[in-house]
Structure 1
Amino acid sequence: MGNDPAIEAIRRALIAVPTDGPLRLHLAELLIGAGRPSEAVAELATLLAAEPDHPGARELMFTALTPDRPAVPPVVIEPEPTPPVDPGPVTPAGESAPDGPPVFDWHAAESQLGDIAAPMFLTSGDVEDQAGAEPVEAFETQRPTLTLADVGGMQQVKDRLEAAFLAPLRNPELRRLYGKNLRGGLLLYGPPGCGKTYLAKALAGELGAAFISAGLSEILDMWMGSSERNVHELFTQARQSAPCVLFLDEIDALGQKRTQTRNSSMRSVVNQLLTELDGVTSDNEGVYVLAATNQPWDVDPALRRPGRLDRTVLVLPPDGLARESIFRSNLAHRPVEGVDLRRLAAGSDGLSGADIAYVCELATERAMMHGVRSGTVRMIGMADLLDALNQVRPSTHAWLDTARTVVQYGEDDGTHAELKAFLKKSKRW
């Protein structure tokens, strides 16, 4: 049985975010629909291990384990008894038929149905009521309070964001003088766990703009045309919320190279993304599109042409200043004493922001378990943090090794020049 590109795309997304329950549930639904119940059972078992009381997973597990169970008979609603109507044989014109079988009286049948069946067509009043209703937002709109000042280090990334978005917004006269519009797209790429989503939220807070995030699970749908409609609704909501930062996570799955996609529905999603980014039917003024990916080499080249996601920013593992800031942020609300942040930053070279957060979590567990065993509560100290630091290995090394192979042997269009320079500087070339 051939692999479904949509299923494989979701599997890749789950490697990056294995705790995404809705995405794993959607994968199980697709596997059942593709006639692969045993694989669906494995995915649902993983989900139930993390969330034992998940109702949707339990019901879907029953469906996967009993694919051939008999269908539940439909419930038949019997109309209330009414006095028998005997209009007698009539003709379509309402006159009695002298000969032949009686003509069926449709008006009498409709009166007996009552309110059992909903009307097939809306009346003019119904249409007016729906037109006056407030539009339902399909995606969550946030108002982040973070700013770029909350992001430690990463000065080069901040400079790119300043030139692309912040400077034109803060200087409207210069913007009009140079003819700079407030629309555009930027692609953030780099190892996982290095703060791409955090940067996008900080940019929205810096702009005082709304923030809408969407990924694979919010857009992909099993029904034909639904995924394209979700993309359109996403951009429509962003335009209505302008100024707005629209963040597209895992863009390599949503905007995969069409030459590598055999599923026509996935190609249609890419086409819809291109249409919305171009603003063919609507103006994208005030909509700042940021996309993130760990695999920029899998993104369709058409998405990176001028006017779309034409600017590329490499988000590398945090530098020393950024690591110190991440340690400070993760330890700010924990009981600590005698902690040397500079020493921790120096000893965590190569760790991502997610790795550092995990180090702090392990150190907290170590101190807490000491209190559980001894009955005496103590603070989190350097010994706890250094012990945790020795247990964690950088998660960025595997990505950098893959990136080195792509840069060395892939097509060199100049896109990965910054990445190549970093690999040489870090002696990974």
Structure 2
Amino acid sequence: MTDEAALNALREAARLSPENLPLRRHLADQLLASGNLSQAETEYQAALGLSPGDHGIAIGLAEALVRQGKNEAALTALDPLLAMPEHPVRAGVLAAQAMLPVNRMAAAHWYRYSVARDPSQADPELAHRLGIGQPSAPPPSSTSPSPIPSGPAGLPAQPPSPAPAAPTQQPSPAPAQQPSLIPTAHSPSVVPAPHAQPQAAGGPYGSADVEPTAEVEHSPVTFADVAGMDTVKEALRMKLLLPTQQPELFAAYGKRAGGGVLLYGPPGAGKTHLARAAAGELGAAFVNVGLADILDMWTGSSERNLRATFAMARRNRPCVLFFDEVDALAARRSDMRQAHSRQIVNQFLAELDGVDEHANEGVLVLAATNAPWYIDAAFRRPGRFDQMVFVPPPDTVARAAMLSLMCRDKPQAKMDFDKVARATEGFVGADLKGLVDRAVEAKLHESIRAGRPIPLATGDLMTAAKTMRPTAVREWLGTARNYVLHANESGAWDELLPWLRDLR
């Protein structure tokens, strides 16, 4: 029987028995070996549907994709395998092939690390294209693991040579550190930290905790420094302030201080300022968590950074733990193409739940976002960010109060803040601050010419207001309208309806 006849027989058998996993995998392997790459890809996909966790099938699929030049799809197929502490060696070599066109340095490190573990997987042609020699196999045992120094851009250095041995021992090398899947065009959701993460003993998969880079602050701002937003402030009082002040009353109803609140609204509406005020009102510690404090290029390090940050907040309770732009850490998992991005979301959810029901008592987790519709629905489950609070653009009364607060430490004549507030419809806090700054700059020029401080007047603010336009409120409401009108089956966005009535 010719090769083509044998393949046709296998195709017919697979057609008659589509659920036969060994048969489908054998057909895919034969198609790959014969160079029928597109058909092999189809059969591997079908086999992977029958057995999603089969490493051999995933590697076969990746090989078919790499040989067709579908490198991005190959890296997506390999991603779950590369996230393993001891990934299959063949997966590492294929990853190097797929990465070569876009990130030669990362490809070289994957190749070195993988082939050092199993020299039989060496590919001289690939090594030549990478411009590297063949690494030798590491000794089979290791008794004293130590961190590996980083190479350029935080990448792991070439696997170290064995450490000197004691006279009575076998040589004991430092194990090669597994390289991370370096962010490239195929993985936009992962942001590398600006420097290499210091590794605990045992490399990036060691069990030692890391020190969080976010810092504990004590905010001087209180709710008295926040104009308007009475509904939002009351929600925060009920979550953290009142349970701390009246613990017996809240305990009678089984309520404790802490929990999660998701603040959302247009850019510049004062969500971060409000979070600082909540901490200052209670006299609680405040931890402002940025993306660089969590995201790391090493697989598994982002999850450890997240765990360490929550642990720090629990040690400093009562504490307000604030995540700005939280949609970058809590995006919908269905939209993610990388397994390690989904693992960050899973870790975040686990930290919100805590190891027991008292784990996060006294920790108020505040999060802010301009795009709440992109956040995974699991975060809105009771016990997590179960309270979504809309931080609206300030109304006329709130704008007047904000202007008064912003001008209180400046030389001023008698001011009509209500008049300025009526002339700044649609302005948010950031816009109003820009307006005051512009008026102050003009007044400074006038004072320098006069040689004495000249008080700020209502006319100065009105002149500045005529030169400015609201930055983002209408655009944000236009985006929100699509979700409120067409994706609001759960009623989550009902609070936005009144704000859309006047939108033209």
Among 491, 495, 504, the residue aligned to 1:414: 491
SS at match of 2:410: coil
1:305 aligns with 2:371: no
Distance 1:379 1:36, change over 3 A: farther
- What residue in structure 2 maps to residue 347 of structure 1? 423
- Deviations 1:387-413 (Å, cap 9, x if unpaired)? 111111112111111111221122431
**2:288 aligned residue (207, 213, 228):** 213
Q: Is the 8 A contact 2:240 2:362 kept in 1?
A: no
* Cα displacement (A) at 1:2: 6.5
Q: CA deviation at 1:166?
A: 2.6
1:308-335 Cα shifts (integer Å, max 9, x gaps): 0011100001122321222122212222
Amino acid in the other structure paired with 1:383: G
Q: Which residue of 2 aligns with 1:365?
A: 441
Q: CA deviation at 1:149?
A: 2.4
Is 1:388 aligned with 2:464?
yes
| Contact residue 138 and residue 233 of structure 1 kept, 8 A | no
CA deviations on 1:366-388 (whole Å, 9 max, x unpaired) are 12233456666533322321111
> CA separation in 2, counterparts of 1:353 and 1:324?
11
Paired residue for 1:222? 297
Given that 1:326 and 1:353 are in contact with CA atoms closer than 8 Å, whether structure 2 keeps it comes out as yes
SS at 1:181's partner residue?
A: coil
Aligned counterpart, 1:271:
346
Q: Report how far residue 109 of structure 1 moved.
A: 13
**2:320 corresponding residue in structure 1:** 245
SS at match of 2:424: coil
Name the structure 2 match of 1:94. none
Per the alignment, residue 322 of structure 1 pairs with: 398
Structure 1: distance between partners of 2:102 and 2:305: 22
Query: 1:112-165 deviations in whole A, cap 9, x for unaligned?
Result: xxxxxx999xxxxxx9xxxxxxx9553210111322222111112122223333
8 A Cα contact 1:151 1:322, kept in partner: no
Q: CA deviation at 1:106?
A: 6.1
In the alignment, which residue of structure 1 is the partner of 2:235? 160
Residue type of the partner of 2:498?
A: A
**Distance across 2 between alignment mates of 1:311 and 1:119:** 49
Superposition TM-score, scaled by structure 2 size: 0.57
**CA offsets, 1:268-310, max 9 Å, x none?**
1100001100102681111111111101000000111111001
Name which of 185, 192, 203 aligns with 2:278.
203
Contact 1:213 1:246 in 2 (8 A): yes
Match of 1:124 in 2: none
Correspondence 1:126-145 to 2 at 5 A: 138-145=213-220
Instruction: State how far apart, in whole Å, the 1-side matches of 2:165 and 2:212 are.
Output: 42
Summarize the alignment of residues 167-182 of structure 1 with structure 2, pairs less than 5 Å apart: 167-182=242-257
**Candidates 396, 404, 423, aligned match of 2:481:** 404
Q: Which amino acid aligns with 2:500?
A: L
Matches of 2:318 and 2:485 in 1, distance apart? 40
Contact 1:404–1:428, Cα closer than 8 Å, also in 2: no
2:284 partner amino acid: A
Deviation at 1:190, TM superposition (A): 0.4
**Superposition TM-score, scaled by structure 1 size:** 0.67
Deviations 1:179-222 (A, max 9, x none): 11223111100011111111111111222211111122221111
d(CA) in 1 for partners of 2:458, 2:370: 33
Q: How many residues align?
A: 315
Q: 1:107 to 1:390 in 2, by over 3 A?
A: same
Identity level (%): 43
Query: Which structure has more RCO (C-alpha within 8 Å, separation ≥ 6)?
Result: 1
Mark the CA change 1:243 to 1:376 in structure 2 (over 3 Å): closer, same or farther: closer
Structure 1 residues 137, 297: CA separation in 2 closer, same or farther (over 3 Å shift)? closer
Q: Distance in 1 between matches of 2:102 and 2:460?
A: 49
Preserved CA contact (<8 Å) 2:263 2:390 = yes
Tell me the secondary structure at the aligned position of residue 418 of structure 1.
helix
**1:335 aligns with one of 408, 411, 415:** 411
One-letter identity of the residue aligned with 1:337: A
Of residues 348-357 and 213-222 in structure 1, the stretch that sits farther from structure 2 once superposed is: 213-222
Q: Distance in 2 between matches of 1:328 and 1:339?
A: 9
Q: Post-superposition shift, 1:35?
A: 4.4
Amino acid at match of 1:208: G
**Superposition deviation, residue 339 in structure 1:** 2.3
C-alpha separation in 1, matches of 2:489 and 2:166: 74
Paired position in structure 2 for 1:150: 225
Whole-angstrom CA distance in 2 between matches of 1:108 and 1:410: 71
Residue 336 of structure 1 deviates from its aligned partner by 2.3
Matched, 1:260 2:335: yes
**Alignment of structure 1 residues 28-177 onto 2, 5 Å:** 35=103, 138-177=213-252
- Where does residue 113 of structure 1 map in the other structure? none
Q: Given that residues 260 and 383 in structure 2 are in contact (C-alpha distance below 8 angstroms), is that contact kept between their aligned partners in structure 1?
A: yes
In structure 1, the gaps of 5 or more residues are 4-32, 38-69, 71-104, 111-117, 121-126, 128-134
Alignment partners' CA distance in 2, 1:36 and 1:334: 57
Residue ranges of structure 2 left out of the alignment (5+ in a row): 1-70, 74-100, 106-130, 132-163, 176-200, 202-209
Structure 1 pair 272–373 and aligned structure 2 pair: CA distance change class (3 A): same
Instruction: Show the counterpart of 2:125.
Output: none
1:108 & 1:260 partners in 2: Cα distance? 56
Match for residue 296 of structure 1 among 357, 372, 376: 372
